[in-house]
Structure formats: structure tokens, C-alpha cells
């Protein structure tokens, strides 16, 4: 197992098509980063759910997932499930996000995600963040689109349990969904942990990675 660090991280970007995407896909990684880097700046963008209960959930959830961070969250009001029809608005939002930050790391959906909103946002990210490390997170769903991923962030048992607890606590609007439970979240983390010689982990796609092994 090769372990390569990204160096010191001072600024990260996290984007999601829907409220709870970021927390489900990369909540453990956010907890790990914010614990290791107090005061880290986190610019978060969510394309849908603004102006209602979902935005309130997201505000409270990301504050909990980014303890001690300089969190700057924007939640837009694009219709759920219709990102392709609102491509220009989504693209403008991503480009505006890029103008206000130059991150060391971008957390975004996977380009192979079966949900059109997730996949569309993933395709937009490299058009604005051209020279940045982009990790594509996964979200378990009915479509069965989980695959063999390339990058892993090990999670301590405490972080994995905390992630699951925060997901249950901060997104009551999602508790009725049959896949939204402790077994699903912790089970996937356990599988990704097995694959990375850890107890738990989150896994990510990496579309393009530039190495700097000579320094």
C-alpha cells in the first residue's frame, strides 16, 4: 500500500449537487482534516435545496462536520434532478466559487456516478479547477454504481462512528429512505477499510494526478 500525502492543506473546496451529498461522500474525510488542521478554510457549494428545511439541515450538518474550520457555505435553489436543464446556472456557480478560492484539495462527486446531478457537477469541476487535486467521492444508492476506486482516506473508528451519528442527527428529512441507515454507511466504510488495510475508510476516484516525487 503506497501512501502519498498532499502536503499541508490550508484551503479545501467541497461541492455537492444536493444537501447531504458532501457529508455522505466525504464526511469522515472532512472530520479528519478539520481535526488535524484547526482553522482550515472550507468553501462548500451545494446546487439544490436552498431556502428551506434542507438548507437549514445542511448549514447545521456541515458546521458539525467541519469543527473549528473557517466554513463558507453556499446553497443554491436549482431543481433536484434537473441539473442538465440548468447547466449554465450550475457552471456559473462553480466558476464563481473558483474566483473566490484557490484550494489545495477539491472534494466532488465522481464522474462515474449514475445520478445525473452528481455526474453533471463532477464534469463541471475540472473546467474551473484545472490545476487542483480533485477527489471524487462515492454515494451508495439503488443504481449500484459503486466501483473500484483509486484513493483512500482511512478513518479511525471514532471518526467513522461520529460520521454516522452526525448523518442521522442532522438530516431528519432523509431518515425515511430505505438506504439511509447506520448499516449502509458503516458497512461501506468497513469495505473500503478492508481494501486499504484500515478498519474504516472513505474511497475516491482520481481522474488526473500530477506527481512531484523529485522534491
pLDDT grade, residue 17 (50/70/90)?
Answer: very high
Q: What are the domain boundaries of the chain?
A: 11-205
> Do the Cβ atoms of 70 and 39 come closer than 8 Å?
yes
Render pLDDT for 30-73 as a digit per residue (tens, 0 to 9).
999 999 999 999 999 999 999 999 999 999 999 999 999 999 99
The CATH code that applies to domain 11-205 is 3.40.50.10320
What pLDDT is stored for residue 182 in this prediction?
Answer: 95
pLDDT score of 5 more than 80? no
> Do the Cβ atoms of 58 and 29 come closer than 8 Å?
no
Render pLDDT for 77-119 as a digit per residue (tens, 0 to 9).
999 989 999 999 999 999 999 999 999 999 999 999 999 999 9
In the chain the first and final C-alpha atoms are separated, in Å, by 21
The C-alpha atoms of residue 62 and residue 162 are separated, in whole angstroms, by: 13
Render pLDDT for 113-169 as a digit per residue (tens, 0 to 9).
999 999 999 999 999 999 999 999 999 998 999 999 999 999 999 999 999 999 999
Q: What is the pTM of this model?
A: 0.95
Amino acid at each position: 500500500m503506497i501512501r502519498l500525502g498532499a502536503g499541508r492543506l490550508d484551503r479545501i473546496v467541497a461541492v455537492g449537487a444536493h444537501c447531504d451529498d458532501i457529508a455522505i461522500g466525504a464526511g469522515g474525510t472532512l472530520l479528519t482534516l478539520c481535526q488535524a488542521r484547526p482553522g482550515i478554510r472550507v468553501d462548500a457549494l451545494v446546487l439544490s435545496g436552498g431556502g428551506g428545511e434542507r438548507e437549514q439541515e445542511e448549514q447545521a450538518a456541515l458546521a458539525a462536520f467541519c469543527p473549528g474550520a473557517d466554513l463558507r457555505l453556499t446553497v443554491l435553489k436549482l431543481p433536484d434532478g434537473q441539473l442538465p436543464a440548468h447547466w449554465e446556472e450550475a457552471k456559473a456557480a462553480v466558476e464563481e466559487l473558483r474566483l473566490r478560492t484557490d484550494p489545495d484539495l477539491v472534494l466532488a462527486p465522481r464522474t462515474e456516478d449514475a445520478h445525473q446531478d452528481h455526474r453533471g457537477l463532477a464534469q463541471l469541476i475540472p473546467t474551473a479547477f484545472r490545476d487542483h487535486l480533485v477527489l471524487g467521492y462515492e454515494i451508495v444508492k439503488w443504481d449500484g454504481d459503486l466501483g473500484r476506486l483509486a484513493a483512500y482516506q482511512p478513518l479511525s473508528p471514532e471518526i467513522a462512528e461520529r460520521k454516522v451519528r452526525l448523518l442521522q442527527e442532522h438530516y431528519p428529512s432523509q431518515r425515511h429512505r430505505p438506504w439511509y441507515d447506520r448499516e449502509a454507511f458503516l458497512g461501506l466504510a468497513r469495505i473500503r477499510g478492508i481494501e486499504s488495510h484500515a478498519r474504516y475508510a472513505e474511497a475516491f476516484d482520481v481522474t488526473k494526478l500530477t506527481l512531484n516525487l523529485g522534491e
